[in-house]
Amino acid sequence: MSTPGLILSRRQTLGFLSPAFLVIGVFLIFPALWVLYLGLTNLELTGLRAVMPQFVGLRNFSRVFQDSFFYNALKLSLAFVLGSGIIGQAGLGLFLALLMYRERSSIKSFVAACAVAAWIIPDVVVAYLWVAFLDNDFGLLNRGLALLGLGPKNWLFQYPLFSIVLFNTWRGAAFSMLLFSAALETIPPSFIETADTLGASAWRRFCDIILPLLKTTILTDILLITLWTFNVFTPFLLTAGGPSFRSEILPIYVYRTSFKYFKLGYGSAISAVLLFINLLFALVYLQAKSRQKKW
Amino acid sequence: MVKRFSILKLALLLLFGVGFFLPLLWLILTPFSAEPTLAVKLPSLSLKSFAEIWQNRTAVLAFKNSIILSLGAMALVLLLGSLAAYALSRARFSGKDTLLYLLLLFSSIVTGVAAMVPIYALNNKLHLIDTHLGVILVFTAGFLPTAVFILKDFIDGIPRAYEEAALVDGSSSLALFRYVAFPLSRPGLAVIAVLTFVNTWANFLVPFVLLRSGEKAPIAVAIYQFFTEVGVPRIGVISAYSLLYTAPVLIIYFWISRRYGFGFFGGLKG
Amino acid sequence: MAEVVLDQVSKIFGSAKAVDNIRLRIADGEFFTLLGPSGCGKTTTLRLVAGLELADAGTIRIGEREVTRVPPAERRIAMVFQNYALYPHMTIAENISYPLRLRKVPAETRAAKIRAVAEKLRIGHLLDRMPAQISGGQQQRVAVARAMVQDPLVYLFDEPLSNLDAKLRLEARRFLKHLQRETGVTAIYVTHDQTEAMALSDRMAVLKDGKLMQVAPPEEIYRRPANAFVAGFVGSPPMNLIEGKVEGAKFVAGQLAVDLSRTVNLPPGSTATLGIRPEQIQLSSRPSALAGVIDDVEPLGNEQIVTVLVAEVPWLVRVTEKTAPRLGERVSIHFEPSALHLFGPDGTRAG
């Protein structure tokens, strides 16, 4: 039944592949491409435009680029990615990995376990944990600050962007920490010990030896973190983008437009822009990875 | 001098350890407290919050829904994924690897709310809004590329000799798959099953967008409803329910890391 | 240029004593080797001198200074690791100059020093290359260059030749010895290769299980090993060691009886180990008390290693005659009684 030399004939291969590719095609690939089309319509969820959407050309796209809410969300997203992604997760992750390098104490295991727990606990739960943590009257953060003599703050209300930056850093640092820890393990101990005998201070050791050897890992980490942080929706559960849109990062902005106001056509235009930005990030990541082989 | 630096390092580590630990404290203490609030205090112990969960219709129903969604996605991913992985492993055509990498690329780009907009519109057209099937299909499509990637790796490691022997004996390719490849790839299948289950169990966005009625909602959405509903939030139920919801995830992730090391799910959790 | 003194130094890892109460005095300008099988504590001892490990007991002195608790950078030592530890992202010149850059030595002085050292080690033409672009032997010399540029009081070498292939190893060995002679700086060298140790050292220490088995110049270690372990470890092919008993003036092991022809400080009936080096045994067809059968012949070109079974005990004999002995041939073995080594029940030399 099958051709000699092959375990699966062409037809059988196609047969085996088709169910999976059908599902992927319909529910992953098609929407990604269709969003471009949808962005060119005025589709909405209710009313006339739900039943009879019209083609409106590039009007949605031009509206997006004139929408002050879009720019607000873009600005907040950039700050969010810089703060909680690059400085927060990648920076903190690297710092923690360095602190834990060559450490074997129980403190290290404790820190690692807590950081990982923060990373794997489901979204809704961590969101509520932080609602409790940041609570104005009862939250642990304010209680802790009170011990230091600092006044309580209504974090989610007064500093919403800062709150979600802090939250997301806490949430995601474990990934970078693990990645950098693994990378540090690949450095032969003799490299560090040579530096010890040469009299390099910890700072010099980091700058001259560790950082150059870790360069590619840092790059890939930053790219991955940027992609993920850019798209993360969980802060919605903490602030819903408020108050007064002060924490409305792009994903929340898309949500508000598409699913609160049901403007699917307009929302698709914004989504298309976002997906395109994702594509750019992914391509840069692939480029960096392929260049990594050279070294 | 060396000693001083180590002390500084340990102190910093401890500081961060506490920082990571503090928000978690609420989850550990409050479910067992007789008077659950947002505050963290040493509780007078009580299991009444857990008892309340059983009496809460939404909570119990949501649990059932989560099981349906996760098991459904798991079954579908296993079936479709193993078939596709088998074909990609055994078939010979150029561009196999490119195809796989393209799929992976797609699944990492098409993510988040931006992806949900067209998916929502699509499901609407297909009358899949507010159905479990719709959610399961979207879960499956999202995770299949990763699943196929991992499974193909496993299957590549199974010597072709088994199938070639069966072929000589006159087996059809479907029978090959069913009686030879599928059973032999069990460890890989187990991993995928667990990963799919955990990923979908914890997912909030997809069911949040695609489901309407409260009765279809899984645990993630139910918890969200609990803490955004009007009135005094039932903190006891929320905390106890959250703990029960989280426990399987924690257990499974630590079990996997013990067997395969942490690096394994670095790329998957995105 | 300094002597190195270890006084009752110990290092414990977990429950194991890696270094057990070691006392060593290494003279200024000496090439001193630490030799032993893996796990014997030689590398740990070296790292203790370097300051990469902290001693649990005892003191270490380099020159006039006690350095037991001093960090590596301040001990004025320079270490060459087995894998050379050349930083892959720095050029050869940058690698060599790194210790100088750390000490903020001005650029001109640096350049001059690098040039001098590179010339001496004949790597001047490699200065702009990256470590990955040069051979193993060249990498090794760069590592040595980096050590030289620091003007240390002591050089520490951790099996620096192990990663080179056999031919390169010989060349590098001679080069290192010549260099050390020229600079006159104390060198402590760790190896598991006893030929290397013999060839390079002014004096060497044989270690086992963290303890010193013998400290002496190579000749003495070879000719008068202090115990059975050293006897069997140093020398290739290894010394014949036969276990048995001392009875009167004879050594007895099963059917074997060897006349010792001298007084032995052991109570009669003690267990003992008899030793004799393969090159000190002659074969002949003359009949004698020690007669046996050739069991194996290893032809090595300029010589053969012959195994003779005498009284069911295999004896290794080094034979350099043109006529090769044949398997199964009946021969007898002969040696001078003075060539015999005798080790007592605890392994130490008894005569």
* Cα angle, residue A263 at apex, residues A258 and A267 outer, rounded to 5°: 50
DSSP string, C265-282: SS-TT-EEEEEE-GGG-E
What chain C holds in terms of domains, given with CATH numbers, is 4-231 (3.40.50.300), 238-343 (2.40.50.140)
Neighbours of chain C (3+ CB pairs under 8 A): A
Using CA atoms, how far apart are residues A126 and A117, in angstroms rounded to an integer? 10
* Minimum distance, in Å, between the CA of residue C113 and any CA atom of chain A: 16
Residues 6+ apart with CB under 8 A from C200: C31, C33, C173, C176, C177, C189
**Which of B13, B119, B205 has the CB atom closest to A107's CB atom?**
B13
Higher-pLDDT residue of A12 and A183 is A183
What is the structure's pLDDT at B1?
42
Q: What is the CATH number of the domain that holds A77?
A: 1.10.3720.10
**Which of A191, A197, A213 has the CB atom closest to C78's CB atom?**
A197
Helix, strand or coil, per DSSP, at residue C109 = helix
Compute φ and ψ for B160, nearest 5 degrees.
Answer: -70, -15
Residues 6+ apart with CB under 8 A from A251: A231, A232, A233, A236, A274, B112, B113, B114
The two beta strands, C282-284 and C341-343, are unpaired
Helix, strand or coil, per DSSP, at residue B150 = helix
Return the residue in C49, C52, C158, C188 with the most chain A beta carbons within 10 A, the one to mutate for interface testing.
Answer: C52
A42, part of any domain: no
A28, part of any domain: no
Q: Residue A188: is the preceding peptide bond cis (ω within 30°)?
A: no
User: Residue A212: its chain C contacts at CB < 8 A?
Assistant: 87, 89
What is the structure's pLDDT at A210?
94
User: Residue C53: its chain A contacts at CB < 8 A?
Assistant: none
- Tell me if A197 and C52 make a contact (CB, 8 A cut-off): yes
**Which of C52, C81, C99 has the CB atom closest to A198's CB atom?**
C99
- Tell me if A27 and B119 make a contact (CB, 8 A cut-off): yes
- Tell me if A213 and C88 make a contact (CB, 8 A cut-off): yes
Average pLDDT over residues C124-152: 92
A86, part of any domain: yes
Compute φ and ψ for C91, nearest 5 degrees.
Answer: -70, 170
What is the structure's pLDDT at B270?
37
Using CA atoms, how far apart are residues B123 and B206, in angstroms rounded to an integer? 12
Nearest CA to B268 out of B218, B194, B211, B208 is that of B194
User: Residue A193: its chain C contacts at CB < 8 A?
Assistant: 52, 72, 79, 81, 85
Q: Residue C203 CA to chain centroid, in angstroms?
A: 9
Are C185 and C155 spatial neighbours (Cβ–Cβ below 8 Å)?
yes
User: Residue A199: its chain C contacts at CB < 8 A?
Assistant: 72-74, 99, 102-103
- Tell me if A190 and C73 make a contact (CB, 8 A cut-off): no
* Minimum distance, in Å, between the CA of residue A212 and any CA atom of chain B: 22
**Which of B14, B87, B174 has the CB atom closest to A17's CB atom?**
B87
User: Residue C88: its chain A contacts at CB < 8 A?
Assistant: 213, 295
- Tell me if A196 and C150 make a contact (CB, 8 A cut-off): no
Helix, strand or coil, per DSSP, at residue A155 = helix
What is the structure's pLDDT at A165?
95
Using CA atoms, how far apart are residues C180 and C100, in angstroms rounded to an integer? 21
Buried b (16+ CB within 10 A) or exposed e, B153-182: ebbeebeeeebeebbeeebebeebbeebbb
A175, part of any domain: yes
Are B249 and B201 spatial neighbours (Cβ–Cβ below 8 Å)?
yes
Return the residue in B109, B131, B185, B223 with the most chain A beta carbons within 10 A, the one to mutate for interface testing.
Answer: B109
Band (pLDDT 50/70/90 cuts) for residue A292 is low
C77 strand-pairing partners: C154
Q: What letter represents residue C276's amino acid? A: I
A61, part of any domain: no
User: Residue C82: its chain A contacts at CB < 8 A?
Assistant: 190
Compute φ and ψ for C272, nearest 5 degrees.
Answer: -155, 165
Nearest CA in chain C to A213: C89
Q: In this predicted structure, which of A68-72, B104-108, C60-64 has the lowest mean pLDDT?
A: B104-108
Q: Which helix (H) or strand (E) holds A213?
A: helix A211-231
Using CA atoms, how far apart are residues A219 and A86, in angstroms rounded to an integer? 10
Q: Residue B256 CA to chain centroid, in angstroms?
A: 13
A225 strand-pairing partners: none
If you average pLDDT over every residue of chain C, what do you get?
Answer: 89
Helix, strand or coil, per DSSP, at residue C297 = strand
A181, part of any domain: yes
- Tell me if A197 and C98 make a contact (CB, 8 A cut-off): no
What is the structure's pLDDT at C210?
92
Inter-chain CB pairs, A–C, below 8 Å: 52
Residue with tokens 């990256």: C130
Contacts of C40-44 with C-beta under 8 Å, sequence gap 24+, read C40/C207, C40/C208, C40/C209, C40/C210, C41/C11, C41/C207, C41/C209, C41/C210, C41/C211, C42/C190, C42/C191, C42/C192, C42/C207, C43/C158, C43/C159, C43/C190, C44/C11, C44/C18, C44/C19, C44/C210
- Tell me if C87 and A212 make a contact (CB, 8 A cut-off): yes
- Tell me if B21 and A32 make a contact (CB, 8 A cut-off): no
Neighbours of chain B (3+ CB pairs under 8 A): A
Are C305 and C295 spatial neighbours (Cβ–Cβ below 8 Å)?
no
- Tell me if A133 and B93 make a contact (CB, 8 A cut-off): no
Using CA atoms, how far apart are residues C227 and C213, in angstroms rounded to an integer? 7
Q: Does B184 touch chain A (CB under 8 A)?
A: no
Please check the confidence at residue A178 and state whether its pLDDT lies above 60: yes
Nearest CA in chain B to A266: B117
* Integer angstrom CA distances of residue C203 from A215, C206, C292: 46, 10, 39
User: Residue A116: its chain B contacts at CB < 8 A?
Assistant: 253, 262
Q: Which helix (H) or strand (E) holds B121?
A: helix B112-125
**Which of A16, A92, A138 has the CB atom closest to B87's CB atom?**
A16
What is the structure's pLDDT at B235?
86
**Which of B113, B173, B220 has the CB atom closest to A8's CB atom?**
B173
C284 strand-pairing partners: C332
A238, part of any domain: yes
Q: Residue A152: is the preceding peptide bond cis (ω within 30°)?
A: no
Helix, strand or coil, per DSSP, at residue C66 = strand
Q: Does B83 touch chain A (CB under 8 A)?
A: yes
Q: Does A122 touch chain B (CB under 8 A)?
A: yes
Predicted complex ipTM = 0.86
Compute φ and ψ for A203, nearest 5 degrees.
Answer: -65, -45
If you average pLDDT over every residue of chain A, what do you get?
Answer: 88
Using CA atoms, how far apart are residues A116 and A179, in angstroms rounded to an integer? 12
- If one counts every other C-beta atom within 10 angstroms of the C-beta of residue B89, the result is 22
Q: At what angle do helices C136-148 and C107-120 cross, to 10 degrees?
A: 130
Are A232 and B112 spatial neighbours (Cβ–Cβ below 8 Å)?
yes
* Cα angle, residue A62 at apex, residues A59 and A65 outer, rounded to 5°: 150
- If one counts every other C-beta atom within 10 angstroms of the C-beta of residue A189, the result is 13
Q: In this predicted structure, which of A129-143, B150-164, C246-260 has the lowest mean pLDDT?
A: C246-260
Neighbours of chain A (3+ CB pairs under 8 A): B, C
Integer Rg of chain B from CA: 23
Domain of residue A255: give its range: 68-262+271-292
Nearest CA in chain C to A199: C73
- In SS3 terms, B234-265 reads as CHHHHHHHHHHHHHHHHHHHHHHHHHHCHHHH
Nearest CA to C68 out of C150, C2, C147, C11 is that of C11
Q: Does A146 touch chain B (CB under 8 A)?
A: no
What chain B holds in terms of domains, given with CATH numbers, is 64-265 (1.10.3720.10)
Band (pLDDT 50/70/90 cuts) for residue C128 is very high
DSSP-assigned letter for residue A89: I
Are B182 and B190 spatial neighbours (Cβ–Cβ below 8 Å)?
no
Band (pLDDT 50/70/90 cuts) for residue C98 is very high
Using CA atoms, how far apart are residues C136 and C140, in angstroms rounded to an integer? 6
C333 strand-pairing partners: C283
pLDDT tens column, C165-205:
888 899 899 999 999 999 999 999 999 999 999 999 999 99
What is the structure's pLDDT at A38?
87
Q: In this predicted structure, which of B34-38, C62-66, C154-158 has the lowest mean pLDDT?
A: B34-38
pLDDT tens column, C23-55:
999 999 999 999 999 989 999 999 999 999 999
Nearest CA to B249 out of C155, A123, C191 is that of A123
- Tell me if C73 and A208 make a contact (CB, 8 A cut-off): no
CA torsion sign for C44, C48, C54, C59 is: positive
User: Residue A47: its chain B contacts at CB < 8 A?
Assistant: none
Please check the confidence at residue A49 and state whether its pLDDT lies above 80: no
**Which of A16, A124, A254 has the CB atom closest to B223's CB atom?**
A124
Chain A: which residues have CB within 8 Å of chain C? 188, 190-191, 193-194, 196-200, 204, 208-209, 212-213, 295
A276, part of any domain: yes
Please check the confidence at residue C107 and state whether its pLDDT lies above 60: yes
Q: Report how many domains make up chain A.
A: 1
Are C315 and C292 spatial neighbours (Cβ–Cβ below 8 Å)?
yes
- Tell me if B250 and A119 make a contact (CB, 8 A cut-off): no
The two beta strands, C271-276 and C341-343, are antiparallel
* Minimum distance, in Å, between the CA of residue C80 and any CA atom of chain A: 8
Please check the confidence at residue A164 and state whether its pLDDT lies above 50: yes
* Integer angstrom CA distances of residue B85 from A25, B39, B81, B149, B192: 16, 50, 6, 7, 12
Residue C247 token pair: 């009875």
Q: Does A109 touch chain B (CB under 8 A)?
A: no
Higher-pLDDT residue of A60 and A151 is A60
- Per residue of chain B (270 residues), give pLDDT as tens: 456 677 888 889 999 999 999 999 889 888 888 777 777 777 678 888 888 888 888 889 999 999 999 999 999 999 999 999 988 888 877 788 888 888 888 888 898 899 999 999 999 889 999 999 999 999 999 999 999 999 998 888 888 888 888 888 877 777 878 888 888 888 889 889 988 998 999 999 999 999 988 889 999 999 998 888 877 788 888 889 999 999 999 888 888 777 765 444 444 443
Please check the confidence at residue A3 and state whether its pLDDT lies above 70: no
User: Residue C150: its chain A contacts at CB < 8 A?
Assistant: 198
User: Residue C78: its chain A contacts at CB < 8 A?
Assistant: 197
Q: In this predicted structure, which of A143-157, A232-246, B252-266, C59-73 has the lowest mean pLDDT?
A: B252-266
C244 strand-pairing partners: C272
